[in-house]
Amino acid sequence: MQDERRLAVLRAIVEDYVATQEPVGSKALVERHGLGVSPATVRNDMAALEEEGLITQPHTSAGRIPTDKGYRLFVDRLTTIKPMTPAERRAIATILDGAVDLDDVVQRSVRLLAQLTHQVAIVQYPTLSRSTVRHIELVALAPARLLVVLILSSGRVEQRLVDLAVPMEDEGVAALRGRLSAVLSGRTVAEATTALELLEEAPGDGGVQTVVAETLVDAMSDHRSSERVAVGGAANLARFGDSFELAVRPLLEALEEHVVLLKLLGEAQSGGLVTVRIGHEGPYQEFASTSVVSTGYGPADEAVGNLGVVGPTRMDYPGTMASVRAVARYVSRILDEA
């Protein structure tokens, strides 16, 4: 019972400090949260929490604020992630449903995350190496010119024009499309590339299959998207006041370094798992006063990229986790339906 009460006191301190940005005293906790005990009992609980390193007193005669360890316990003891309101779900659907292609999905997602969480939002472009081949299309634009279309599970679409040494009839184009689809559909990029390199030339097609296969290999060898991220909400850094000032400069510098941001997000997690890294748990000591909330996204529970937010350790963890998970699920659905 005592442990549960102290956990309730810690939860109340976290919620009040996030809301007010001011150290929290025992009297305010009793008045605001109906803890059912006296201020003296709450003071004793606060002393125990402080001894355990879960809260600290920033200066004499002040109230208490959570430590990184306190935030960690608070997040770990969340029984459920706060559900999104109907209005928030409608906003997500309205913004993302209008996307016209993968780039548009990423850009809309990063703006949406920044608006929902009031933090700096980061969305990694889908990693090509984790994608599978969803569809191959060959379109005859002229007797000796083909449009080769490659569609991946990440939602990425590659189009290449191929000029042929000899004209090709529609029946030949359809037959080649069928052969390539049979070999490539459902395979990862690495598997598909190997299969294309081993594919034997079909008799009598004048080398067309070889040219198209080389074109597809080239389209699948472009890994630049896996190192790209979109960033939104940098202006939200101005909201966090003096206590976050030391973290703002390195964070602003990091926004220019995509490799740093990718490391901040961590490995993409599948299955809807939301990862929270608090303060010193992150990979860079210069971001010790920040927290990162992230998760993976992709079709059919296959993580092809990561998205999340970066902000001060003093953040609304339940709300932020809910927003990150909801946007990731919606982006995953879009890719699944692409």
The token pair at 113 is: 């995350």
Instruction: Please determine, for residue 320, whether its predicted confidence score (pLDDT) is greater than 90.
Output: yes
Whether residues 258 and 214 share a domain: the answer is no
The answer on 239 and 214 residing in a single domain is: no
Does 210 lie in the same domain as 246? no
| Mean pLDDT computed over every residue of the chain | 85
Q: In the predicted model, is pLDDT for residue 242 greater than 60?
A: no
> Which residue from 142, 105, 90 is spatially nearest to 332, judged by alpha carbons?
105
191 by DSSP, 3-state: which?
helix
Chosen domain end from 222, 241, 262:
222
**pLDDT tens figures, 207-220:** 888 899 999 988 88
Question: What's 104's domain CATH number?
Answer: 3.30.450.40
- 72: domain CATH number is 1.10.10.10
Does one domain contain both 244 and 277? yes
First to last CA, the chain: 51
Rounded Cα distance between 215 and 196, Å, is 10
What does the pLDDT read at residue 224?
Answer: 47
- Residue from 29, 113, 128 nearest 311 by CA: 113
Angle 197-202-207 (CA atoms, 0-180°, nearest 5)? 75
pLDDT value, residue 226:
55
- Mean pLDDT for 179-197 is 89
Task: Report yes or no on 26 lying in a domain.
Answer: yes
Q: Label residue 271 by pLDDT band (50, 70, 90).
A: low
Q: Span 24-40, mean pLDDT?
A: 86
153 and 297 share one domain? no
Check residue 304 and give its pLDDT: 80
Question: What's the pLDDT at 241?
Answer: 61
Query: Does one domain contain both 28 and 120?
Result: no
Only one residue has tokens 């030949």, namely 172
Q: Provide the percentage of residues in the chain whose pLDDT is more than 90.
A: 36
Cβ(319)–Cβ(115) under 8 Å?
no
Apex 82 CA angle, 272 and 301, nearest 5: 10
* 252/267 Cα distance (integer angstroms): 22
**pLDDT tens per residue across span 101-136:** 888 999 999 999 999 999 999 999 887 766 789 899
In a domain, 81, yes or no: no
Is residue 209 included in any domain, yes or no?
yes
Element (H, E) at 116: helix 102-117
Same domain, 117 and 166: no
Helix (H, G, I), strand (E, B) or coil at 316: coil
- 238 shares its domain with 317: yes
Quote the number of domains for the chain. Answer: 3
Residue with structure tokens 């355990």? 52
Last residue of a domain, one of 176, 195, 222: 222
Give the number of other CB atoms < 10 A from CB of residue 228.
Answer: 16
Same domain, residue pair 90 and 156? no
The amino acid present at 113, given as its one-letter code, is L
Give the per-residue pLDDT at 289.
84
pLDDT number for residue 298:
84
pLDDT of residue 49: 95
Q: Are residues 133 and 120 in the same domain?
A: no
Are 312 and 213 in a shared domain?
Answer: no
Give residue 20's domain range: 2-76
CATH number of the structural domain spanning residue 207: 3.30.390.10
Residues 103 and 54 in one domain: no
pLDDT tens for each residue of 137-173? 999 999 889 999 998 877 778 899 999 888 888 888 9
DSSP state of 315: S
158 domain-assigned: yes
Q: How many CB atoms lie within 10 A of CB 21?
A: 16
